[in-house]
Chains A and B, each alone.
Chain A
Amino acid sequence: MLSPERLALPDYEYLAQRHVLTYMEDAVCQLLENREDISQYGIARFFTEYFNSVCQGTHILFREFSFVQATPHNRVSFLRAFWRCFRTVGKNGDLLTMKEYHCLLQLLCPDFPLELTQKAARIVLMDDAMDCLMSFSDFLFAFQIQFYYSEFLDSVAAIYENLLSGKNPNTVIVPTSSSGQHRQRPALGEAGMLEGVEASLFYQCLENLCDRHKYSCPPPALVKEALSNVQRLTFYGFLMALSKHHGINQALGALPDKGDLMHDPAMDEELERLVVRSKLHRTSRPHRAKEPGAFGFQRREKQEALERVSSASVPTPYHYRWEPRE
């Protein structure tokens, strides 16, 4: 904990890097809002719970978008929460539209902006036919890139734009939030014979960008890896490559690998329990009993089984230990 690098930083910078102040401010704000309820069981306990939840990544649930977006840790927690809650939808094999995914996002964050979801969808669909259906894993990985690195991507878009139109890549670019993406569409059409930009030149600019700016960027080495096998690339091609890159995913640390995406044994167990409970709940209502014989006979046994299970294992709330990231 008391590593020398940490002590080397001046106070404010240290605090800012760790976003400590953000959490402090939010904690105090929450305290103010829920004064009456919290005063019942003590402020110390409140702070404990709050920071515990920050550690576990559950603090962003049902919070407003400005908070969810505020720190990289929040973003990762949100991605993780989204994955955990809706993995079952993916497992079921349903293909959904962009709007529906947006709806699911809104279930967790009521004012999540449609723009971000649209951008994520564009990555998957390569800017084509925006009301196509997408699979859960495709969307999730694209969304991860878009959401976590949104500022970075805006800058990249601007760079790409400039490269396409042949401007000097080393000039300072100040991207505006909307201009990058909007100018994208006509630009792709103008690419003409040679699609996109040259990969190596593009990478150079990106490297400069990463060095210059302080917001989170993907590790340059991994980006280089992603660009290594192509000569030329388009903007969405680049993003698609990023989203599919395992290394970047692991570096982010929010989601498991693509192969394991549908795996979560602890949650599956929990789910089974819920399903069984709901079955019992339904059959206990007399007018709904469709097979009174079958369920009624087994009911008692199942209840006993349930009791045994619940006493035996205390479900740990969070299996994946979230490691703090550099």
Chain B
Amino acid sequence: MIPGKYRSVSGRAANNVNCGLHLVIQTSPLPEKNKVEFKLNKDTSSFPGRLLQHDLERNYSSRQGDHINLVSSSLSSFPILQRSSEEKILYSDRLSLERQKLTVCPIINGEDHLRLLNFQHNFITRIQNISNLQKLISLDLYDNQIEEISGLSTLRCLRVLLLGKNRIKKISNLENLKSLDVLDLHGNQITKIENINHLCELRVLNLARNFLSHVDNLNGLDSLTELNLRHNQITFVRDVDNLPCLQHLFLSFNNISSFDSVSCLADSSSLSDITFDGNPIAQESWYKHTVLQNMMQLRQLDMKRITEEERRMASVLAKKEEEKKRESHKQSLLKEKKRLTINNVARQWDLQQQRVANIATNEDRKDSDSPQDPCQIDGSTLSAFPEETGPLDSGLNNALQGLSVVDTYLVEVDGDTLSLYGSGALESLDRNWSVQTAGMITTVSFTFIEFDEIVQVLPKLKIKFPNSLHLKFKETNLVMLQQFNALAQLRRIDQLTIDPQGNPVVNFTLWKYYVLFRLSHFSMQKINGTEVTQNDMIMAERLFGILAHVASSELPQYRLISILGDARKKQFRYLLESKGKKPGIINEENNDSKRLVGENTNRATLNYTTRDFYNEKLEEIKEKKKFCKTYIEDLVKEATEINMKNEALQKLWPQMFIELVRDAVIEIRNKNSYMKLCLQQITDQK
């Protein structure tokens, strides 16, 4: 029986008609050994112009049993087939030897005009003894034990070759079968498609249930309309776009996992029916719409018609995929750019630190070493960096070389984290941040920025990002405990992370306690990831409590006021500068000062002024000092003069007093003349 797979769909237009034979064979019970009864339906359909239809449902009323003898010849090992002459005349073009328990092909004599030969369901191992049947059109060797295709070289008319369910390992020896229309090699052990490129009339090729791992080498099959590759191990498909007539492609139960491996299908304009079920690709979420999107010409997928609705959905989804891919590509580009910028900022930072270190060491060596050394140091540090850029550059791919690596800072907002790299990033705090974005930020991270510069923007931070609770510092040159005083002006800090890298202050034993002490009004919960315990707070208080007490209660009143006033004045100044003199500012300032009272005022005097500011202030004071000096000197001069005069008076006074007394006594000595003198003085006065 011819397998039902070869029914061509009715209603199709006839094209490339090869053969007009009806091959319908009904099985009949085997009467005895070596006796074959053939019941063939003699269909009077004409030879040319008819499709090959394998219609199993036809009933055959007429049964003619004639006996055929298989006589084993004494001469050769092959049995010789003999048919009765009536049979020969009745079924002159067809011979069926199915289920005859044949192990070899028998010699068929005198049947050279045979057109259909059926050897189904036997045990034949080699195709032999049919070279004389040069008019053969259809040869059926389904279900045998054939290991090699051979012995077909004379069958130039062969149109249908059925070799399913055998043990064939290789497609070969089909060179002369140029008229082949149907080639069935299903159920064999074929691993490679080859030696079929000359079969330009082949319409149906069945390679199901073989061991194929890939599909290629299909060029030349210009008539192929149906290609069955079910149940193989195919991972990729090629050359299908070289098949101009291919309409049906069955790839069910293979190992295809991505559409790229079958991308040639998209280029095949003739394909209208395809199956992928049983492949890994069919389990993917994007399977259906990707296939539909890439193969607009399809009408049927996995044996189901494709509706307009499905096609529409497919294009929508495919567009979404495209979007997503574009987005992720953009994201990865951005990430790369970010990484480069951060590297650049790091490099700048290192250079800057080296420069500062060089200046410091140069100052130390001023009197002893030669001036050559600083140049050498600079040279050595600079030479270190070109090596660094080497691997960086090689890491760029073409698309990124266009990005400028000149950026010297980076500002990044990632959900609730604001990250600033490089001192240029601090200016970004001036930007108009939307209330929503700014409100979401809870963590602010500073990297590669001098802490002194950060201190100056802390008021801005307080105002623009009111919900920032967690501050992170890395490579910010935190060297003194004093610098933490600057953080007290913020509204609230719940967590503080000081990365040891670039922050020498972390090496101090007491730094955490100092932070807890100075910023006790924040009731911080975590420092560098570790929870703050009650004991920590108490220890901090114990260690530095006296400092606070001294700083508040023992300072004279005017100092307290001046120190506190300074701090507030600075903040107020910033507000005026940034927003202009709006009436609303005054209220804010009042609120701030009220909140300051909430802070432990006994430590409010512990402030931090950056070195530059401090030196500036000292410079300013110099003038005043000079004035004071001269003023005091003047006062001293006056005082000493007076003192001198006083002393002189002290010295001279006794003498003067005696003289005064003597003069007075001398005057009053003569009473009468004194009375006269006085009276005269009175009259003179008038």
CB 8 Å contact bits of A79-115 with B (1 = contact, 0 = none): 0010011111100101111011001101100110000
B366 CB to closest chain A CB (Å) equals 9
What's the Cα separation between A87 and B636 when bound, in Å?
41
Q: Known: A103-B482, A282-B534. Is A274-B545 also a contact (CB below 8 A)?
A: yes
CB 8 Å contact bits of A274-298 with B (1 = contact, 0 = none): 1100110110010010100000000
What's the Cα separation between A52 and B555 when bound, in Å?
10
The answer to whether A275 touches B509, judged by C-beta atoms less than 8 angstroms apart, is no
What's the Cα separation between A12 and B543 when bound, in Å?
45
Extra A-B contacts (10), CB below 8 Å, given A28-B632, A53-B555, A106-B480: A29-B624, A37-B561, A61-B551, A94-B509, A97-B508, A99-B504, A107-B547, A111-B618, A278-B537, A317-B553
The answer to whether B561 touches A88, judged by C-beta atoms less than 8 angstroms apart, is no
The answer to whether B621 touches A33, judged by C-beta atoms less than 8 angstroms apart, is yes
- Chain B residues 578 to 602 lying within 8 A of chain A, measured CB to CB, are none
B539 CB to closest chain A CB (Å) equals 8
Q: Known: A37-B562, A37-B565. Is A106-B554 also a contact (CB below 8 A)?
A: no
Residue B357 is within 8 A (CB to CB) of chain A in the complex: no
- Chain B residues 532 to 551 lying within 8 A of chain A, measured CB to CB, are 534, 537-539, 541-551
Residue of A nearest to B516 (CB): A278
CB 8 Å contact bits of B557-577 with A (1 = contact, 0 = none): 111011101000000000000
Residue A171 is within 8 A (CB to CB) of chain B in the complex: no
The answer to whether A271 touches B509, judged by C-beta atoms less than 8 angstroms apart, is no
The answer to whether B547 touches A86, judged by C-beta atoms less than 8 angstroms apart, is yes
The answer to whether B546 touches A270, judged by C-beta atoms less than 8 angstroms apart, is yes
Residue A50 is within 8 A (CB to CB) of chain B in the complex: yes
CB 8 Å contact bits of A185-224 with B (1 = contact, 0 = none): 0000000000000000000000000000000000000000
B148 CB to closest chain A CB (Å) equals 85
B541 CB to closest chain A CB (Å) equals 5
Q: Which residues of A contact B639 (CB under 8 A)?
A: 11
Q: Which residues of A contact B352 (CB under 8 A)?
A: none
Determine which of B537, B624, B643 lies in contact with A11 in the assembled complex, contact meaning CB atoms within 8 Å. Answer: B643
CB 8 Å contact bits of A21-36 with B (1 = contact, 0 = none): 1001110111011100
A46 CB to closest chain B CB (Å) equals 6
Determine which of B482, B550, B561, B640 lies in contact with A85 in the assembled complex, contact meaning CB atoms within 8 Å. Answer: B550
What's the Cα separation between A182 and B517 when bound, in Å?
39
Q: Which residues of A contact B616 (CB under 8 A)?
A: none
Residue B72 is within 8 A (CB to CB) of chain A in the complex: no
Q: Known: A33-B562, A58-B555, A278-B537. Is A103-B546 also a contact (CB below 8 A)?
A: no
Determine which of A25, A111, A282 lies in contact with B537 in the assembled complex, contact meaning CB atoms within 8 Å. Answer: A282
The answer to whether A21 touches B624, judged by C-beta atoms less than 8 angstroms apart, is no
Which B residues have a C-beta under 8 Å from some C-beta of A?
A: 367-368, 480-482, 504-505, 507-510, 520, 523, 534, 537-539, 541-551, 553-559, 561-563, 565, 605-606, 609, 614, 618, 621, 624-625, 627-629, 631-632, 635-636, 639-640, 643-644
Q: Which residues of A contact B543 (CB under 8 A)?
A: 88-89, 92
Residue of A nearest to B549 (CB): A270
B214 CB to closest chain A CB (Å) equals 66
Residue A56 is within 8 A (CB to CB) of chain B in the complex: yes
The answer to whether A110 touches B609, judged by C-beta atoms less than 8 angstroms apart, is yes
The answer to whether A12 touches B640, judged by C-beta atoms less than 8 angstroms apart, is yes
Q: Which residues of B contact A106 (CB under 8 A)?
A: 480-482
What's the Cα separation between A86 and B631 when bound, in Å?
38
CB 8 Å contact bits of A59-92 with B (1 = contact, 0 = none): 1011010000000000000000100111111001
Q: Known: A61-B551, A271-B545. Is A38-B481 also a contact (CB below 8 A)?
A: no
A115 CB to closest chain B CB (Å) equals 10
Residue of B nearest to A95 (CB): B509
Q: Which residues of A contact B482 (CB under 8 A)?
A: 103, 106-107, 110
* Shortest Cβ-Cβ A-B pairs, 7 listed: A49-B556, A274-B545, A34-B562, A85-B547, A28-B628, A58-B554, A11-B640
Query: Which of B504, B543, B609, B618 counts the most chain A CB atoms within 10 A?
Result: B543
- Tally of contacts, chain A with chain B, CB under 8 A: 157
Q: Which residues of A contact B548 (CB under 8 A)?
A: 274
What's the Cα separation between A64 and B624 when bound, in Å?
15
The answer to whether B561 touches A34, judged by C-beta atoms less than 8 angstroms apart, is yes
What's the Cα separation between A250 and B683 when bound, in Å?
77
The answer to whether B624 touches A32, judged by C-beta atoms less than 8 angstroms apart, is yes
Q: Known: A11-B640, A64-B618. Is A87-B508 also a contact (CB below 8 A)?
A: no
What's the Cα separation between A84 and B547 when bound, in Å?
8
The answer to whether B628 touches A278, judged by C-beta atoms less than 8 angstroms apart, is no
B646 CB to closest chain A CB (Å) equals 11
Query: Which of B507, B556, B565, B632 counts the most chain A CB atoms within 10 A?
Result: B556
Q: Which residues of A contact B504 (CB under 8 A)?
A: 99
What's the Cα separation between A110 and B565 when bound, in Å?
18
Residue A15 is within 8 A (CB to CB) of chain B in the complex: yes
Q: Which residues of A contact B558 (CB under 8 A)?
A: 30, 34, 37-38, 46, 49-50
Q: Which residues of B contact A285 (CB under 8 A)?
A: 523
The answer to whether B546 touches A88, judged by C-beta atoms less than 8 angstroms apart, is yes
B526 CB to closest chain A CB (Å) equals 12
Q: Which residues of B contact A3 (CB under 8 A)?
A: none
What's the Cα separation between A275 and B549 when bound, in Å?
12
Residue A178 is within 8 A (CB to CB) of chain B in the complex: yes
A80 CB to closest chain B CB (Å) equals 11
Chosen A-B contacts, 24 in total, with CB atoms closer than 8 Å, are A12-B636, A32-B628, A33-B621, A34-B561, A37-B562, A49-B556, A53-B555, A53-B556, A62-B551, A62-B559, A84-B546, A85-B547, A103-B508, A106-B480, A182-B368, A267-B549, A270-B546, A271-B541, A271-B546, A274-B548, A275-B538, A278-B537, A278-B541, A279-B534
B667 CB to closest chain A CB (Å) equals 37
What's the Cα separation between A94 and B480 when bound, in Å?
18
The answer to whether A94 touches B546, judged by C-beta atoms less than 8 angstroms apart, is no
Residue A318 is within 8 A (CB to CB) of chain B in the complex: yes
The answer to whether B636 touches A21, judged by C-beta atoms less than 8 angstroms apart, is yes
Q: Which residues of B contact A56 (CB under 8 A)?
A: 554
Determine which of A29, A50, A96 lies in contact with B556 in the assembled complex, contact meaning CB atoms within 8 Å. Answer: A50
The answer to whether B538 touches A29, judged by C-beta atoms less than 8 angstroms apart, is no
What's the Cα separation between A15 and B481 when bound, in Å?
39
Q: Which residues of B contact A26 (CB under 8 A)?
A: 628
Residue of A nearest to B560 (CB): A37
The answer to whether A89 touches B510, judged by C-beta atoms less than 8 angstroms apart, is yes
A255 CB to closest chain B CB (Å) equals 15
Q: Which residues of A contact B542 (CB under 8 A)?
A: 88, 92, 271, 275
B311 CB to closest chain A CB (Å) equals 58
Q: Which residues of B contact A182 (CB under 8 A)?
A: 368
Determine which of A25, A52, A288 lies in contact with B625 in the assembled complex, contact meaning CB atoms within 8 Å. Answer: A25
Q: Known: A103-B481, A103-B508, A275-B542. Is A178-B549 also a contact (CB below 8 A)?
A: no
B608 CB to closest chain A CB (Å) equals 8
The answer to whether A274 touches B640, judged by C-beta atoms less than 8 angstroms apart, is no
Q: Which residues of A contact B631 (CB under 8 A)?
A: 28
The answer to whether A29 touches B625, judged by C-beta atoms less than 8 angstroms apart, is yes
Q: Which residues of B contact A94 (CB under 8 A)?
A: 509-510
The answer to whether A88 touches B544, judged by C-beta atoms less than 8 angstroms apart, is yes
Q: Which residues of B contact A88 (CB under 8 A)?
A: 542-546
A315 CB to closest chain B CB (Å) equals 8
Residue of B nearest to A57 (CB): B554
What's the Cα separation between A59 and B555 when bound, in Å?
7
What's the Cα separation between A111 and B628 when bound, in Å?
22
The answer to whether B556 touches A81, judged by C-beta atoms less than 8 angstroms apart, is no
B487 CB to closest chain A CB (Å) equals 15
The answer to whether B523 touches A318, judged by C-beta atoms less than 8 angstroms apart, is no
Residue of B nearest to A38 (CB): B558
What's the Cα separation between A95 and B510 when bound, in Å?
10
Q: Known: A11-B643, A85-B550. Is A25-B538 also a contact (CB below 8 A)?
A: no
Q: Which residues of A contact B624 (CB under 8 A)?
A: 29, 32-33
Residue of A nearest to B518 (CB): A107
Q: Which residues of A contact B368 (CB under 8 A)?
A: 182
Residue of B nearest to A10 (CB): B640
B159 CB to closest chain A CB (Å) equals 89
The answer to whether B554 touches A61, judged by C-beta atoms less than 8 angstroms apart, is yes
Residue of B nearest to A318 (CB): B554
What's the Cα separation between A21 and B42 when bound, in Å?
143
